[in-house]
Structure 1
Amino acid sequence: MFHAPRALRRARLALASVVLASTALLAPAGAAAQGASGDPTLAQTLFEEGRRLMEAKSYAQACPKLAESQRLRPGTGTLLNLALCNEGLGKTATAWGQFKEALFASKKEGNAAREAFAQEHIDALEPRLSKIQLDAENTPGLLVRIDSNDIPAAALGTPIPIDPGAHEVEATASGYSVWSTTVQVGESADLKTIAVPKLLPAPAASKPAGPQLPAPGGAVGDRSGGRGLQTAGYVIGGAGVAVLGVGAVFGILAAGQASDAEKDEALCPEKRCTPEGRDEIDAAETKALVSTIGVGVGVAALAAGAILVLTSGPSRTASASAAAARQGSPGRVQARIVPLIGPQGGGVGVLGAF
């Protein structure tokens, strides 16, 4: 005999069993999570919030929370929820891949209920998967990306499951120009085939034609050029000081040697020098000549160094530089040091425009 109250109770018990089974099926793995190293409290909080948002069909807000929960504390239950969320969001390829991952994990764990649940969704998603196939010409070192994700060379020419929507395809190789295109993939069972052409060699860096005019504040006012001239000025000036010192020393030696020879009665008796005395006098005159040249060179080098230092700063304004450029002047100091040698001595000079 059929009793309605008893049948109602059985129906309620069956419903409760289904609810409990579903809760256990989709709950996170908890302490059994493999490689769990994140904050378990935060992971659980994000999981519960993600589940709440998913039940409200707010998939765009729910999926990031579930993904972070899975990252903090990986678990098969969380992964199944994340796959369900992406399926609701329309990311069929992403959801299919996550259900596949959960299927393998469930088999490893021996959880037949989760295994069956994952397989059911895989079977439902596979006929709807959209795919993209990349056919590429042979370019040495070719690297193909979809949405900045590298595609292995072995995957070229093979249809790859992909989420519906717009995707950026890019091909690069060292020494070649970048090729890219955008493809729109349909929502269900769409197949897009993209032919990636052989890449073109990258153009060589072109050199500017003709002389380049200095920018305002450049040339004389250019800092790098100014520092170079200033450094050269200090070096030349320092060398001038050294040469002056050498010239002074030779002058003192010459004067002393000549004086000593003239005072030596054995060399120059009664101011008439013997051949030996004459040799001493000639040697003193040679030292005197060296002294004269050294002093001349030193003074000239000091002057040249001072000129370079004084003209190395930004002494021209931008308008003056522009005016010089219009008149055909390069707008920069051009100078070089040249030796000057004469019958009575030597030195250096500075030739150029300032």
Structure 2
Amino acid sequence: MLLTHRVDRAVLRGALFSLCALLWPAPARGQGQTKTPPSARVEVSADQAAAAEALFQEARALVEKKEYAAACPKFAESQRLDPGIGTLMNLGDCYEKNGKMASAWATYREAIAEANRTDQRQREKDAAVLAARVEARLSRVTLRVPAANLRPGLKLSRDGQLVDPAQYGLSIPIDAGEHELRAEAPGHAPWSSRFGLAEGAKQELLVPALERLPEPAVAPPPGPQRTIGFVVAGAGIATVAAGGVLGLVAMSQRSEAQQLGCDDVACSTLEAKDKNDSALGLANVSTVLFIAGGVTTAAGVVLVATAPKRGPSAPPPVGGAPPPSAAASALWLGAARRGTGLSLQGRF
């Protein structure tokens, strides 16, 4: 049965724990918190104690309704806020009734240690009896990780909780039910497996060697075509700029020739004719530079746009011939003076 208020622990201790030996009833929180030596007590604020008591009472009400899955977390939170052996015993009893034998066993073992630490011998004996009773019903799992399957940085987790390597190869108590084991290591594909355990069952799980992931592809450095394209485009832009400068000079000289006596048909003086001829020559050169610069710039843009950006570079053809990208980038200007003109030759 469950007690509803705090009572004198000294009066009830003998009767209560004699009854526990035959049938364990969940004691009230007040009854469970026997006096602890001052040096061993944990300082708890009034707010924490009040919250712990409220949680404890709510958990007891849920246990009365046999709603153990909802009651156990409240007992656990009450214990966290205001630790006490009585709450631990109630929590262990709740876990046991809910079929969580490993959790119940671990909680009873914690109660044994706390009772021993605080010199509560009867409590220690009672908790030991309960722990022994639960231990016979424990489910256990053994994780086998052969040395050949170990990987640098290997991490195992069970139900999201990291498994310490010290547990490898040991028969570890766990609650019955469905579980998930997961293994992962840097540079390897993760592995996971789901398994179920009945109450009292024992199972061994072999962790396989994780498969190494392929190395990520590294993009090669840009090929020469892209670099040549930028150079060619830059040269084309510079050529267009030079053509523009010469065009301005030609316009200036043409204006001077007109002032000296040249019109659209003839020039009245030799000086005017020379100035006019020079202006016409510069205008022709400017036109050629504009055309050459435009073609060169366009060629550079094409080279940049068609340059391969990813993937392995193609091997050079047999015989030492340049690769297609190099051949496509062959471009030159040839200039020959014919009076005041320039000729442009190009190959793409």
The TM tier, using the shorter chain, reads: 0.5 to 0.7
Normalised TM-score (structure 1): 0.58
Matches within 5 A, 1:163-182: 163-182=175-194
Deviation at 1:46, TM superposition (A): 1.2
Q: Structure 1 residue 118 and structure 2 residue 130: aligned?
A: no
Counterpart amino acid of 1:271? Answer: T
Counterpart amino acid of 2:171? Answer: P
Q: How many residues align?
A: 266
Deviates more, 1:122-131 or 1:252-261: 252-261
Go from structure 1 to structure 2 and tell me whether the alpha carbon gap of 1:290 and 1:102 turns closer, same or farther (over 3 Å shift): farther
Deviation at 1:178, TM superposition (A): 2.8
Matches within 5 A, 1:3-18: 18=15
Q: Structure 1 residue 185 and structure 2 residue 181: aligned?
A: no
Contact 2:260–2:269 (CA under 8 A) maintained in structure 1: no
Question: Which 5+ residue runs of structure 2 have no aligned equivalent?
Answer: 1-9, 19-26, 218-232, 262-266, 299-330, 336-340
The equivalent residue for 1:104 is: 113
Go from structure 1 to structure 2 and tell me whether the alpha carbon gap of 1:112 and 1:287 turns closer, same or farther (over 3 Å shift): farther
The equivalent residue for 2:253 is: 257
The equivalent residue for 2:6 is: none
CA RMSD for the aligned pairs?
A: 4.8
Go from structure 1 to structure 2 and tell me whether the alpha carbon gap of 1:28 and 1:78 turns closer, same or farther (over 3 Å shift): farther
Deviates more, 1:166-175 or 1:87-96: 166-175
Go from structure 1 to structure 2 and tell me whether the alpha carbon gap of 1:35 and 1:157 turns closer, same or farther (over 3 Å shift): farther
Question: Which 5+ residue runs of structure 1 have no aligned equivalent?
Answer: 1-12, 207-235, 304-338, 348-354
The equivalent residue for 1:194 is: 205
The equivalent residue for 1:292 is: 287
Q: Secondary structure of the equivalent of 2:136?
A: helix
Counterpart Cα distance in 2 of 1:54 and 1:96? 19
Contact 1:292–1:345 (CA under 8 A) maintained in structure 2: no
Normalised TM-score (structure 2): 0.59
Deviation at 1:299, TM superposition (A): 8.7
Counterpart Cα distance in 1 of 2:34 and 2:65? 19
Go from structure 1 to structure 2 and tell me whether the alpha carbon gap of 1:28 and 1:201 turns closer, same or farther (over 3 Å shift): farther
Deviation at 1:290, TM superposition (A): 4.9
Contact 1:262–1:273 (CA under 8 A) maintained in structure 2: no
Counterpart Cα distance in 1 of 2:212 and 2:294? 59
Question: Deviation string for 1:215-239 (max 9, x for gaps)?
Answer: xxxxxxxxxxxxxxxxxxxxx9xx9
Contact 2:101–2:138 (CA under 8 A) maintained in structure 1: yes
The equivalent residue for 1:79 is: 88
Q: Secondary structure of the equivalent of 2:189?
A: coil
Q: Per residue, is there more strand in 1 or in 2? A: 1
Question: Deviation string for 1:148-204 (max 9, x for gaps)?
Answer: 22211121111001111222222222232333322221212x211112222233467
Counterpart Cα distance in 2 of 1:198 and 1:177? 10
The equivalent residue for 1:26 is: 32
Deviation at 1:76, TM superposition (A): 3.4
Go from structure 1 to structure 2 and tell me whether the alpha carbon gap of 1:16 and 1:166 turns closer, same or farther (over 3 Å shift): closer
Q: Secondary structure of the equivalent of 1:128?
A: coil
Q: Structure 1 residue 45 and structure 2 residue 54: aligned?
A: yes
- Match of residue 156, structure 2, among 144, 147, 150: 144
Deviation at 1:128, TM superposition (A): 2.3
Counterpart Cα distance in 2 of 1:36 and 1:60? 27
